[in-house]
Chains A and B, each alone.
Chain A
Amino acid sequence: MDLSYTPEEEEFRARLREWLAKALPILPARPSPDDWPGRRAYDLGWQRMLYDAGYAGVHWDASPTLRLIFLEETERAGAPYVGANFVGLLHAGPTIAAEGTAEQRARWLPPILRGEQVWCQGFSEPDAGSDLASLRTRARRDGDAYVVTGSKIWTSHAEVADRCELLVRTDPDAPRHRGITWLAMPMDADGITVRPLRTLAGSAEFAEMFLDEVRVPVADRVGEENDGWRVTMVTLSFERGTAFVGEVVACRRVLGELARAARGDGRWDDPALRRRLGRLDAEFRALWRLTQWNVSAAEASGGVPGVGGSVFKLRYSHARQELYDTAAEVLGPGALDLDRPWVLDRLSSLSYTIAAGTSQIQRSIVAERILGLPRGR
């Protein structure tokens, strides 16, 4: 058990810190949450800065430990999040790197890394959420293209995306997991209608997507036809494995802010609140250690993150909600004021136990795939 970093890793950290100290002050102002073109430009611009500094591919080609250091340091310095680059960098990108052809890797990965293209994820459908394998969006082969018809929902960043990782049914007669194909659909194709959906936080973070005879070249298929479910499992392991590292660091910072705010206004004298904050501190310390533990395991196995991500995701998503509920306690009546800090974060924390696989689904995964309990239903 060794928590120390090698001289090379420390050197990487030091250089990154130095660069962040120079890069962050020259960033443009953050756009408002409703300004979609502004957000796209801002997020891509940040990715371009990372690219020029040599950090663009850190999610893909760096060791798990360097990735951890990168996420820790950027969060500590208050750098922007991946934002609109989320699917490209943490989802579609790694999937294409692992499963795509040489031609596809050359065509799609550099624009993601250089901050030129935004990807979105078209997996969920109105009737296929937790039961993703029941998806019905149809793709019929017509010459060198698939013709896609159906609808997708909850597609984050759909409005500003250039491409969409899309799951379609190519064989309606095959067993449900065997008739699915993974496509990279160009978002400027004819027949795509995007209708924004308003979240409970008031912003339009995701959208409905209607697909009417959309032509997607066969060359834009990743993996074999009808082998899309296996490719999807690779995609989801990335989503659950690495996406939250920076957020744990951020949560620990928020916790310190909460304690200082409580101290400033007298609520600190309430032992129940103090103890709640102390317990949350223990929680986030442990989640950080669990992250380091998982990173070391990934480093040792040299592979794709596994189902262990479900253990982390379960615990983390509930801890995050408890953090912002505690923030509401610190805020008192201010908890009902949307202009106060943490109030919007409290609202958005509600999605954490739903997005990327609900807590119930994660528990079933832990029970069946880690503990080996018999398959339930």
Chain B
Amino acid sequence: MRFRLTDDQRALREGVRELLARCFGREALRAAVRAPGRLDRTLWRTLGEAGFFALRLPEADGGVGLGLPEAVLAFEEAGRALLPGPLVATHLAAGGVPGAARGETVVAAVDGELAEWLDAADVVRGDASGAVPLRSVDPLTPLHRLPGTAAPDPVAGLPAPVAAAPDPVAVLLTAAEQLGTAGRVCELAVQHARAREQFGRPIGAFQAVQHLCADLLVRVETARAAVYAAAVTADPADIAAARLLADEAAVRGARDCLQVHGGMGFTWEADVHLHLKRAWVRERRAGGGTQSEELLAAALAD
């Protein structure tokens, strides 16, 4: 058992981080926030050329020929950088939809009652009829609402209709993005706690702040072990577990990071809210955490 990153995996992670710093740095991020709904096609092609979408395609088919663990590392970096666009849908379409692998075709997918990036997409997978745009809480993710199945009647207590089982790989890559957000907000919180002074000392010397930061790290490291292991086993139950841990690490992490930032954390200018809002979007994907909890519970009772 060598449950750690190999040298190649480390190099891949560094490579993706550098690429994203170059083509989607802070300037680009804030520019994207100012132009909501617009997908940067140049960036998309750059990602395609770098192999982001073709990562798991066999080399014989023009892909990079790597596996799920490598894809997870790349998506973790995408999450860290708040990279916008239908990344998971396009990655999954590589090899199936012409041009997706090279970043020439933007592929979006309908996911239950929601769909991300419908208007910007060249190809939409799933039935998008009746989709209505909504005013997305996340400035970096345009959303449509679909009619979907009728909502369950809470009074009659009818069970929610069970959606078709989501693609486990989509769930795992989403968890990897959440892990990226979780790690990033932990760093941001710690940086701020070291730099900001009140009462004549860095706020990071106050135990209440220290303990918020410690819990941030504990959630990141626990989620990381779960997400990486699920990438190795590709077992649907492991993936369900990974998504629950990663959602928690991202959403609660972003909130605690906001708290550590004080008033600054409540501003549009700080990036914290972008992480929180994106984490909220991602946690709704593929049936949400409920689906994963029920999947694990069912396996337990067997």
Instruction: Please list the residues of chain A having a beta carbon within 8 angstroms of any beta carbon in chain B.
Output: 1-5, 9, 65, 68, 255-256, 258-260, 262-263, 268, 271, 274-279, 281-283, 285-287, 289-290, 292-293, 295-297, 299-300, 311, 314-315, 360, 362-364, 366-368, 370-377
Q: Which residues of B contact A293 (CB under 8 A)?
A: 3-4, 224-225, 228-229
Contact with A along B30-56 (1 / 0, CB 8 A): 000000000000000000000000000
A-B contact pairs, 10 of them (CB 8 A): A2-B232, A3-B229, A259-B300, A275-B290, A279-B293, A282-B244, A292-B225, A314-B214, A371-B190, A371-B217
B289 to chain A, nearest CB (A): 8
CB atoms of B210 and A3 under 8 A apart:
no
CB atoms of B297 and A278 under 8 A apart:
yes
CB atoms of A1 and B190 under 8 A apart:
no
| Given A289-B228, A292-B229, A375-B205: A274 and B293 interface contact (C-beta under 8 Å) | yes
| Given A283-B245, A290-B222, A374-B205: A259 and B301 interface contact (C-beta under 8 Å) | yes
Q: Which residues of A contact B218 (CB under 8 A)?
A: 311, 314-315, 366
| Given A281-B300, A285-B241: A1 and B232 interface contact (C-beta under 8 Å) | yes
Q: Which 9 A-B pairs have CB atoms at the shortest separation, nearest pair first? A: A278-B293, A367-B210, A282-B241, A278-B297, A286-B226, A259-B300, A366-B214, A373-B204, A363-B214
Q: Which residues of B contact A68 (CB under 8 A)?
A: 1
Having A1-B69, A65-B1, A289-B3, one finds 13 other A-B pairs with CB under 8 Å, namely A1-B9, A260-B301, A268-B301, A279-B296, A282-B226, A283-B245, A285-B241, A286-B225, A293-B3, A293-B224, A311-B218, A364-B207, A374-B204
Determine which of A271, A292, A295, A366 lies in contact with B217 in the assembled complex, contact meaning CB atoms within 8 Å.
Answer: A366
Determine which of B9, B215, B223, B300 lies in contact with A286 in the assembled complex, contact meaning CB atoms within 8 Å.
Answer: B223
Most buried by B among A271, A281, A299, A360: A281
The distance in angstroms between the C-alpha atoms of A48 and B240, with both chains bound, is 42
Q: Which residues of A contact B2 (CB under 8 A)?
A: 1-2, 296, 299-300
Within B261-302, the residues touching A (CB, 8 Å) are 289-290, 292-297, 299-301
Determine which of A256, A287, A377 lies in contact with B222 in the assembled complex, contact meaning CB atoms within 8 Å.
Answer: A287
The distance in angstroms between the C-alpha atoms of A283 and B242, with both chains bound, is 9
The distance in angstroms between the C-alpha atoms of A363 and B209, with both chains bound, is 10
Interface of B, secondary structure class, is helix
The distance in angstroms between the C-alpha atoms of A292 and B222, with both chains bound, is 11
| Given A289-B226, A314-B214, A363-B211: A274 and B294 interface contact (C-beta under 8 Å) | yes
CB atoms of A286 and B4 under 8 A apart:
no
| Given A256-B300, A367-B214: A289 and B225 interface contact (C-beta under 8 Å) | yes
Determine which of A9, A65, A368, A374 lies in contact with B202 in the assembled complex, contact meaning CB atoms within 8 Å.
Answer: A374
For residue B149, CB closer than 8 A to chain A, the reply is no
Instruction: Please list the residues of chain B having a beta carbon within 8 angstroms of any beta carbon in chain A.
Output: 1-6, 9, 69, 159, 190, 193-194, 201-202, 204-207, 209-211, 213-215, 217-218, 221-226, 228-229, 231-233, 237-238, 240-242, 244-245, 289-290, 292-297, 299-301
The distance in angstroms between the C-alpha atoms of A296 and B206, with both chains bound, is 34
Q: Which residues of B contact A374 (CB under 8 A)?
A: 194, 201-202, 204-205
B3 to chain A, nearest CB (A): 4
Q: Which residues of A contact B204 (CB under 8 A)?
A: 367, 373-374
Q: Which residues of A contact B245 (CB under 8 A)?
A: 282-283, 286
The distance in angstroms between the C-alpha atoms of A258 and B297, with both chains bound, is 10
B190 to chain A, nearest CB (A): 5
A263 to chain B, nearest CB (A): 5
CB atoms of A278 and B228 under 8 A apart:
no
CB atoms of B297 and A277 under 8 A apart:
yes
CB atoms of B213 and A1 under 8 A apart:
no
Q: Which residues of B contact A368 (CB under 8 A)?
A: 210
A73 to chain B, nearest CB (A): 14
Q: Which residues of A contact B205 (CB under 8 A)?
A: 373-377
The distance in angstroms between the C-alpha atoms of A279 and B300, with both chains bound, is 11
The distance in angstroms between the C-alpha atoms of A373 and B259, with both chains bound, is 17
The distance in angstroms between the C-alpha atoms of A263 and B298, with both chains bound, is 10
| Given A371-B190, A373-B193, A376-B205: A292 and B296 interface contact (C-beta under 8 Å) | no
A103 to chain B, nearest CB (A): 37
| Given A1-B9, A4-B1, A367-B204: A373 and B294 interface contact (C-beta under 8 Å) | no
CB atoms of A376 and B207 under 8 A apart:
yes
The distance in angstroms between the C-alpha atoms of A359 and B217, with both chains bound, is 14
CB atoms of A367 and B226 under 8 A apart:
no
